[in-house]
Amino acid sequence: MAIFGGPKYTKVRIKKLDIPEGLWTKCEECGELIYNKVLEENSKVCPKCQYHFTLGAQERIHLLIDSGTFQEFDGGLRSADPLGFKGPRTYVEKLQLDQAATGLAEAAVTGEGKLEGQRVIFGVTDSRFIMGSMGSVVGEKLTRAIERSMRARLPLIIVSGSGGGARMYEGMFSLMQMSKTSVALAEHHEARLPFISVLTDPTMAGVMASYASLGDVILAEPRALIGFTGPRVIEQTIRQRLPEGFQRSEFLLEHGQIDRVVHRKQLKPTLHSLLDYLA
């Protein structure tokens, strides 16, 4: 028999702290919780592991183009539905959903602006809009930007963030954009004008197989997934394990497919130095 009896407990009710949602973001690489204001100030790069979060088209323009200098081209172009595509969602419904979610009319934004005072023709694709896939409007906007670069004798920069390649909703009309952009860049090269291609995570499929790989200088952000077919599909096809880091920007640099891996914070000064040199 216990001399002093059993232990006694006092119940304490702890009030749960109300933490507003939307203040923190979890790093997809290391799991660190990052205060959103800190993340924005750090150009959406994890301060712990340097993981580069995805940027939208407008964020790219804000990062690389001098404030107040960007003038958009062809903002009124809209995709048609040439195949009358139907599925779980029609093509028209998919376009409307992504337009509402991103505030963009299409996956590509093009225009003219200044980069550290240097006039440039600038294009960017946004992976949030149907994975940045290249349909007729994306190909047309990029081709027109290339042609404007030739007419104005200005350097061309295209930042690619496209994991979708050719847009299946448009079939052959989409595949045609690969050759169209490539032919335009061949003429651009003959005109002896600089084209700098910047590859971000992800840059895949038909985009990488066309204009994105044709830069006079090709830069990439750290750890960006770059290639044609994804590594899981390749492994399932060849039934072999791929090398460590396969299809990441560092692997491609080591094997000579790109020229330099550049941290996001150094991207604008690096582009400025290249433009000075190429001019």
Model confidence at 88, pLDDT cuts 50, 70, 90, reads confident
Strand bridging mode 108-115 / 118-125: antiparallel
Q: Name the pTM for this structure.
A: 0.86
Mean pLDDT, residues 228-233 taken together? 80
Residue 211 has pLDDT above 60, yes or no: yes
Task: Place 7 in a pLDDT band, splitting at 50, 70 and 90.
Answer: low
Token pair listed for 205: 């499929």
Q: What is the pLDDT of residues 26-62, one digit of tens each?
A: 998 888 899 999 999 899 999 999 999 989 999 999 9
Q: The CATH number of 54-278 is which of 2.60.120.260, 3.40.50.300, 3.90.226.10, 1.10.8.60?
A: 3.90.226.10
CATH 3.90.226.10 domain locations along the chain = 54-278
In tens, the pLDDT along 154-203 reads 999 999 988 778 888 999 999 999 999 999 999 999 999 999 999 999 98
User: DSSP readout, the chain?
Assistant: --SS-S------PPPPP-PPTTSEEE-TTT--EEEHHHHHHTTTB-TTT--B----HHHHHHHHSPTT--EEESTT-----TT---SSS-HHHHHHHHHHHHS-SSSEEEEEEEETTEEEEEEEE-TTTGGG-B-HHHHHHHHHHHHHHHHHT--EEEEEEESS-B-GGGTHHHHHHHHHHHHHHHHHHHTT--EEEEEEEEE-HHHHTTGGG--SEEEE-TT-BBSSS-HHHHHHHHTSPPPTTTTBHHHHHHTTSSSEE--HHHHHHHHHHHHHHH-
91-108: pLDDT as tens digits? 999 999 999 999 999 999
**CB-based contacts of 70-75 (< 8 A; 24+ apart in sequence):** 70/111, 70/112, 70/113, 70/122, 71/111, 71/112, 71/113, 72/109, 72/110, 72/111, 73/110, 73/111, 73/112, 73/141, 73/144, 73/145, 73/148, 74/110, 74/140, 74/141, 74/144, 75/105, 75/109
Q: What is the mean pLDDT of the chain?
A: 89
